Amino acid sequence: MSAHKIGFNTAVAIVIANMIGTGVFTSLGFQVLSIESGFGILMLWIVGGVLALCGALTYGEIGSAFPESGGEYNYLSKLYHPSIGFISGWVSVTVGFAAPIAAAAVALGQYVTKIYPTINATLLALTVIGIITAIHSINLKAGGLFQRVFTIVKVVCIIMFVGFGLYHVPQHSVDFAPSPTAWKDIFSTGFAASLIYVTYAYSGWNAATYISGEISDAKKNLPKALFVGTLLVMIVYTLLNFVFLYSVPVPELKGVLEVGYLSANKIFGTQLGQFMSLVIALLLISTISAMVLAGPRVMQSMGNDIKGLSFFAISNKNKVPYVAIIFQSTIAVILVLTSSFQSLITYVGFTLNLFTFLTVLGIFILRYKHKHVETSYKTFLYPVTPVVFLLIILWILINIMIEKPMESLCGLGTVLLGLGIYFLTNKKENKNNGQISETSSPGSP
């Protein structure tokens, strides 16, 4: 393996680390505002997991066909048009990674200040972003080791949390039966609206696609990493939310951000519960690290393709795109200082789902327009898998536009701004190239 290549295990670690983070430890309090049945909540996370698996299985084939770094930027440029790819890359730069980094850092700060009230949560969030940015700006090997270690610690701690939670004897009545009320919850608009938090929590199942150009034997390892990482997280998420509901009464969860803190106090008692809450805060470091590692590779690919953005492609002697890393972290810092957590999650979820929808839809274009492109993997249960994904995402997007029009408009505004920047920075290229060739790709020098 090349010294600069990432192995299968690290790719799986990146998928897991990107997924397990802010969403699962903070979003349940918002979900129970509209869904109170235990069965309804668990189905919410199972549906979200099935959705992520369908996406991962489909992305696996597309990523096998186009194994260069860049994620949706790479795929949409080839499947549709470079302008569509650029907008998705722009969204990844401004929303897809920077905003979740900010949200994870804010959550980390709030978890810590529950235990140490004298600590400034905002200053702590900014410090964590700064340190992780510095680590990943220096060396890919060091960043990969940092990622693997923190992901292993994260998974072990969550398994311990779930294990102790299942042995805990709750002081309140718990009902997970599929009652008529529970089924009514599942088919409600509140269920669809709550899915935006779940899809945010599961976002990251496509993380390895952003660095596929740096994965050893990407055509083989990328689909496997996407599937294995997503399946493991689906199991963990369902168990973790079962424990949250099992240990804390629903009325106490409503509107609360630090769900893990409440649950830990119920399971372990106040003192040990505070320690476990601190552990949860530390686990968010892994999430921030994974996104700081993956996101700038999209900007690097864009910089390679577009002269006006060539500064994003600047790398150090270790081939690390440090300019892109610093730029992304700067946006995250601004968001930490200016945004509210709940509106940020809705805005991120809506905007990212637009492009995962287009990418999964692209599997049909790949099958019929690019038959000559060799793939080492075919989507399991095609075409059922992508169709299920597309229908659920469409249902979510329509409900979010109805329930949260302001966040939806902000998302669409970000897309339009990206389109404007594309034409401003790419005028010369547009005159000469109507479309990126089959042999070259975003991410290729």
Residue 426 has pLDDT above 70, yes or no: no
Identity of the highest mean pLDDT range in 31-35, 239-243, 426-430: 239-243
Cα–Cα distance list, 366 to 166, 205, 434 (Å): 45, 21, 19
Report the pLDDT value the prediction gives residue 360, as an integer from 0 to 100: 93
Report the pLDDT value the prediction gives residue 443, as an integer from 0 to 100: 35
CA 260 to chain centre: 19
Query: Alpha helix locations (H) across 175-253?
Result: 180-186, 189-202, 218-247, 250-253
Residue 417 in tokens: 């701004």
pLDDT of 293-338, one tens digit each? Answer: 777 777 777 777 777 777 777 777 767 777 888 888 888 888 888 8
- What mean pLDDT comes out for the span 389-394? 92
Cis status, amide bond into 67, omega within 30 of 0: no
For the stretch 48-74, what's the b/e string if a residue is b when 16 or more beta carbons lie within 10 angstroms of its beta carbon?
A: bbebbbbbbbbbbbbbbbbbbbbbbbb
* Residue 435 included in any domain: no
**Comparing C-alpha atoms, which of 123, 87, 69 is closest to residue 293?**
69
* Residue 205 included in any domain: yes
- What mean pLDDT comes out for the span 366-378? 77
Q: How confident is the model at residue 1 (pLDDT cuts 50, 70, 90)?
A: very low
Lowest mean pLDDT segment, chosen from 54-68, 200-214, 254-268, 392-406: 200-214
| C-alpha–C-alpha distance, residues 254 and 238, integer Å | 19
Average predicted confidence (pLDDT) for the chain = 78
**Amino acid identity, residue 111?**
Y
Report the pLDDT value the prediction gives residue 384, as an integer from 0 to 100: 92
HSE-CB at 387 with a 13 A cutoff on CA atoms is: 4
| C-alpha–C-alpha distance, residues 305 and 236, integer Å | 39
CATH of the domain at 182: 1.20.1740.10
* Residue 432 included in any domain: no
Residue 25 has pLDDT above 80, yes or no: no
Residue 89 has pLDDT above 90, yes or no: no
Report the pLDDT value the prediction gives residue 435, as an integer from 0 to 100: 46
* Residue 431 included in any domain: no
Residue 81 has pLDDT above 80, yes or no: yes
* Residue 108 included in any domain: yes
- Which residues, at least 6 apart from 75, have a Cβ–Cβ distance to it below 8 Å? 62, 63, 66, 85, 209, 359, 362
Task: State the CB neighbour count (10 A cutoff) for residue 150.
Answer: 22
Question: Which residues constitute the domain of residue 380?
Answer: 8-426
Report the pLDDT value the prediction gives residue 147, as an integer from 0 to 100: 63
Is the separation of the CB atoms in 138 and 53 below 8 Å? no
pLDDT of 112-144, one tens digit each? Answer: 887 888 888 889 989 989 888 887 777 656 656
pTM for this prediction: 0.73
For the chain, what is the domain count?
1
Q: Is the dihedral of CA 397, 399, 401, 407 positive or negative?
A: negative
| C-alpha–C-alpha distance, residues 185 and 100, integer Å | 28
* Residue 48 included in any domain: yes
* Residue 441 included in any domain: no
pLDDT of 205-246, one tens digit each? Answer: 776 666 666 677 767 777 778 888 888 888 888 888 888 888
pLDDT of 326-369, one tens digit each? Answer: 888 888 888 888 877 767 777 888 888 888 899 999 999 988 88
pLDDT of 243-295, one tens digit each? Answer: 888 888 888 888 777 787 888 888 888 777 777 777 777 778 877 877 787 77
Residue 164 has pLDDT above 90, yes or no: no
For residues 135 and 41, the model is more confident at 41
- Residues of the chain with pLDDT > 70: what percent? 87
Is the separation of the CB atoms in 350 and 192 below 8 Å? no
* Residue 3 included in any domain: no
Q: Which residue has the tokens 């709550």?
A: 194
Is the separation of the CB atoms in 309 and 303 below 8 Å? yes
